[in-house]
Chains A and B, each alone.
Chain A
């Protein structure tokens, strides 16, 4: 099937902003998610955006959605070393009456002092 695309790596300096980009495939996706995976752990939901929204802000996190271009981004303000992790975007695709999450390959965010 078609892929949810993300760049594989992002390196930023502590205190700078990080922007992680994602392109998704299904224009009918109702929810789009950002997940965070720390080393040796499972995925944790960071935030979501509903398809009728353009932007959502949650403390240091800002999600932007461009439905025309099927582009999703996650901005982390004042990035800290604790933000180092893999970040996954995910879209929900309808499949035979069910809604199945499809994940990108993940972006490894490296925060250095």
Chain B
């Protein structure tokens, strides 16, 4: 299927566990982003990637790790989950030469850390 897919849709994990959120896009967009959405804070950028093997920190990177070995995948790992990481996580992608098309978002992963 064409588009940007996030998995899982919902996840409950325990404090201290490692969890990985997946993001896959089929357009070969060069840019990919991870945001978290929290009430009162809107969307905050965690990490982004301009191309395969190139990643950069966003506004709130602490406690997260990303990788981009292939253009189409951009997994986000919480190395040791904390309750403050309970949030809705959105992945997005874009092509820099097509900014008028904006940024395309996945449907989100709702993560609860107990």
> What is the interface of chain A, defined by CB distance below 8 A to chain B?
1, 30-31, 33, 35, 41-45, 48, 50, 88, 90, 92, 95-106
Contacts and interface: CB of A to CB of B under 8 A. Distances in A.
A105 B41 contact: yes
Given A1-B59, A100-B48, 17 more contacts: A35-B105, A42-B90, A42-B106, A43-B90, A43-B105, A45-B102, A45-B104, A48-B100, A48-B102, A50-B100, A88-B42, A98-B48, A99-B96, A101-B33, A101-B94, A105-B41, A105-B42
Given A41-B107, A42-B107, A96-B56, A105 B40 contact: yes
B101 A88 contact: no
Contact of A45 (B31, B103, B108): B103
Contacts of A42: 90, 105-108
